[in-house]
A and B are shown apart, each in its own frame.
Chain A
């Protein structure tokens, strides 16, 4: 009891606290109100801009025209499109039906291999470029502001331009084929990985670097001994994730002539071979699932290594 009376606030402190508390609460309410109002305005402005709530005329099954909200009116057409791409498969003639569905499988397998190799090569380029540039691009490690500024802007340029646009440029430079795809995805991956790696670098414990500097280490020694061991598990994890993303990218990049399965999408669409589209989709889906699964296993092992003593 005596302890409580000893530490009790003097009586004038309590009303002071009350007013401060009321002020803090009304300030946080005001912030909330302004924030919500801004969000609502922005939300409705963008729905108006994107026709999200547009009411449009649609034909009904009995031939009459009715006013309907565009989204429920359009969804059945999605089903229509998908239905067109689904092949006819009967149990008693399954072999023949499957053979017809995947009739171009020889070409597709070759292109699938090309797709995965483009992704592999592009990831390798992206890792080398991103890894080297991630150190000067990290605010806590960069040797000076000019180098930091230049590498940051370069990485931004590399990743803000989509792979498809880089591919268009490189197809123009190096002609149609997988080389353009490798360079396009590799460049974009350099930008994306460099950014991610540099953020990992910025979150490290800086104290070991002091320890290395104090022993007479150079900037490169600090990176090699102090930074790399700390960031390696994250770098491997991001690299595998990027490989998955690059497989998806390389499977559409052929659409502009930069190699891989994408060119088949274009052919199938222009010849209105709808079942080819579903066959290609199945191939890519299965590939991506397998690669995702494998790289996830690998990633967990890498992270597990970090946990193990």
Chain B
């Protein structure tokens, strides 16, 4: 399959700890993949490896037959533009207005001078406004990003990711800092760009029912390795106990940790 994202025994060590330990994985275009696992299982590092915010200690990542791990300079920046990323803490520039934050998504196409002058074309601005319009954020376009609520900021971050015209969207715990209502809005937003725009989505989640509700495929990590890879239906209680190492916790209930009250009850 040409446009498959493939990881071949990718490892990343931080000192003694193996954050990601020889992970092999291939993700088909258009999939909505959820990555679950306890804190420190290597979920974040896995995502950061894919867009090269972190370099692998060994192994290779390839996309459309291209070796991603070997990219440098401009080619690397173009790859990062191709696989947009959103973060748990939104990572917007709070003191810049919302529109400029979205336009940062276009930055890889800019030369030094136009970037330093913060000069963007009318087409780019139109693109940014259209992206904001999809999430109902046009009225906030000229406000400082820091004045928006967490849920709004995360949707700005998705709009910024969208103007990158990405092929893959990486989302690192996108709803962990949000209330159930906003979490639902953000997950629905990701679902929308997956279904409408055909963008592959790879999302780290810490709530199981969110993963079950949205993901075609669920990957569970434990101690840096892939522990489970399958559909939501295959993710039985026994598997879940092993993923989270909660054998002793008899009364485990997914609903207790849920942030998806709206989605589940709907």
Q: Which one of A10-18, A99-107, A116-124, A220-228 contacts B?
A: A220-228
Question: Could you tell me how many residues of chain A have their Cβ less than 8 Å away from some Cβ of chain B?
Answer: 22
Bound form: Cα–Cα A124–B157 in Å: 37
Interface of A (DSSP majority class): helix
Q: Does chain B have a CB within 8 A of A162?
A: no
Bound form: Cα–Cα A212–B96 in Å: 13
In the bound complex, residues from chain B placing their C-beta under 8 Å from that of A213 are 53, 80
- B100-138 contacts to A (CB < 8 Å): 100, 104-105, 107-108, 110, 112, 115-116, 118
Q: A211–B157 contact, CB under 8 A?
A: yes
Bound form: Cα–Cα A308–B93 in Å: 16
Q: Which residue of B lies closest to A214 (CB)?
A: B85
Chain B: minimal CB distance from A236 (Å): 13
Bound form: Cα–Cα A205–B264 in Å: 35
Cross-interface CB contact of A211 among B92, B115, B118, cutoff 8 Å: B92
Q: Does chain B have a CB within 8 A of A79?
A: no
Q: Does chain A have a CB within 8 A of B69?
A: no
Cross-interface CB contact of B80 among A208, A215, A229, A230, cutoff 8 Å: A215
Q: B93–A214 contact, CB under 8 A?
A: no
Q: A217–B51 contact, CB under 8 A?
A: no
Q: A214–B115 contact, CB under 8 A?
A: no
A211-B116 contact given A216-B81, A229-B96, CB 8 Å threshold: no
Q: Does chain B have a CB within 8 A of A297?
A: no
In the bound complex, residues from chain A placing their C-beta under 8 Å from that of B90 are 207, 211
0/1 string, B17-30, CB within 8 A of A gives 1: 00000000000000
Bound form: Cα–Cα A214–B158 in Å: 13
In the bound complex, residues from chain B placing their C-beta under 8 Å from that of A36 are none
A309-B91 contact given A210-B53, A220-B112, A220-B115, CB 8 Å threshold: no
User: Among A216, A220, A224, which residue has the most Cβ atoms of chain B within 10 A?
Assistant: A216
Q: A221–B80 contact, CB under 8 A?
A: no
Q: Does chain A have a CB within 8 A of B147?
A: yes
Q: B53–A212 contact, CB under 8 A?
A: no
Q: B53–A224 contact, CB under 8 A?
A: no
Q: Does chain B have a CB within 8 A of A218?
A: yes
A216-B164 contact given A207-B87, A224-B116, A309-B144, CB 8 Å threshold: yes
7 further A-B pairs in the complex, CB-CB below 8 A; given A215-B104, A216-B107, A220-B112: A211-B85, A212-B104, A214-B53, A215-B81, A226-B93, A229-B93, A309-B147
